[in-house]
């Protein structure tokens, strides 16, 4: 089954790039399965020692065909330009979805491509620039406050957007099904004072008060800690637990979990890949 491809800009406007004949991306030639690491090495008398691998920003050259009448082409070309160019203007990345996977970036170049044998179609060859060079698939696990009763958890059918974590009072597990350590978004829901949880022996704690109706986010990709109030976000970075990094990724496999169980929280695992997952 073909995967849905769509572009969603930073304002939330979106365009389907795959499911009709008027706007279609050439996914197979876009380079979504290409990647490159750069070795950081120390020269030795014989060969080198690899210290680590780094990866710079990525970019994909993708062609999108706009077909139909002159009016249809003009309308869709203009709509795509405006939603993509908005992200560049405000310097906030848009998001390209391929099925359940997404990559964040900007359309930084576009060229018109005309076809001699397809007079009702205009191609747009676009450069999609990714400052953070990963494809991501999110998996959210919800942990609910417990009022003295044990929670056996709920298993949802495949494809459901989240799981409910299995817990008893103060104890549980996080099953990271990804093959490498995983970035995350951790969301604490108020009311709670100095929220703290331990996953796989690592402590995630922020010394602050989260009121009823507020929530607190720890974002390991962007290295931010912020609390959402009725008037906006409050920076809580300096109130994070500093004895051990609260941005420590979640290890693969089953990790032990402990917390007071008096508040609810969500854990979104950002399962990252250098190339699009093969289907």
C-alpha 39: how far from its chain's center? 25
Model pLDDT, residue 169: 63
Convert the pLDDT of each residue in 106-137 to its tens digit.
999 999 999 988 889 999 999 999 999 999 99
> Which residues are CB-neighbours of 69 under 8 A, at least 6 positions away?
120
Model pLDDT, residue 279: 83
In 3D space, the residue among 172, 154, 171 whose CA is nearest the CA of residue 163 turns out to be: 154
Q: pTM of the predicted model, to two decimals?
A: 0.86
Q: What count of other Cβ atoms lies within 10 Å of the Cβ of residue 31?
A: 16
> Which residues are CB-neighbours of 115 under 8 A, at least 6 positions away?
121, 123
CATH topology of domain 136-273: Jelly Rolls (2.60.120)
Q: How far apart are CA 38 and CA 52, in angstroms?
A: 9
Paired tokens of 68:
């139909």
Convert the pLDDT of each residue in 167-223 to its tens digit.
556 788 999 999 999 999 999 999 999 999 999 999 999 999 999 999 999 999 999
Instruction: Render 11-68 in DSSP notation, one character per residue.
Output: TS-EEESSSSSSEEE-GGGTTTT----EEEEEE-SSSEEEEEEE---EEEEEEEEEES
Average pLDDT of the chain, as a whole number: 91
Model pLDDT, residue 166: 54
Give the domain ranges of the chain.
Answer: 5-133, 136-273
In 3D space, the residue among 24, 42, 49 whose CA is nearest the CA of residue 124 turns out to be: 24
Model pLDDT, residue 170: 76
CATH number among 1.10.645.10, 2.40.30.200, 3.30.300.130, 2.60.40.10, domain 5-133? 2.40.30.200
R_g of the chain computed on alpha carbons: 22
CB 191 within 8 A of CB 263: yes
What does the DSSP 8-state code read for residue 222? T
């Amino acid at each position: 089954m073909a995967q849905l491809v769509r572009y969603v800009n930073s304002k939330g406007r979106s365009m389907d790039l795959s499911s009709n004949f008027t706007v279609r991306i050439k996914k197979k030639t876009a380079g979504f399965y290409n990647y490159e690491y750069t070795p950081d090495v120390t020269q030795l008398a014989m060969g080198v020692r690899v210290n680590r691998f780094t990866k710079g920003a990525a970019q994909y050259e993708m062609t999108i065909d706009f077909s139909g009448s002159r009016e249809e082409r003009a309308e869709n070309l203009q709509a795509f330009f405006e939603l993509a160019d908005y992200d560049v203007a405000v310097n906030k990345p848009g998001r390209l979805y391929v099925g359940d996977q997404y990559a964040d970036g900007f359309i930084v170049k576009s060229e018109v491509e005309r076809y001699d044998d397809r007079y009702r179609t205009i191609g747009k060859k676009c450069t999609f620039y990714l400052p953070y060079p990963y494809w991501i698939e999110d998996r959210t696990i919800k942990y609910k406050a417990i009022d003295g009763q044990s929670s056996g958890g709920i298993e949802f059918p495949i494809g459901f957007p989240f799981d409910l974590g299995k817990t008893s009072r103060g104890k549980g597990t996080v099953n990271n099904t990804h093959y490498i350590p995983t970035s995350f978004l951790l969301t604490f829901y108020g009311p709670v004072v100095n929220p703290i949880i331990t996953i796989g022996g690592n402590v995630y704690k922020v010394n602050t008060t989260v009121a009823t109706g507020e929530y607190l986010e720890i974002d390991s990709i962007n290295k931010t800690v912020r609390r959402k109030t009725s008037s906006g976000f409050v920076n809580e970075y300096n109130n994070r637990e500093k004895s051990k990094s609260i941005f420590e990724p979640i290890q693969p496999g089953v990790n032990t979990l402990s917390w007071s169980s008096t508040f609810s929280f969500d854990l979104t695992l950002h399962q990252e890949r250098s190339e699009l997952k093969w289907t």
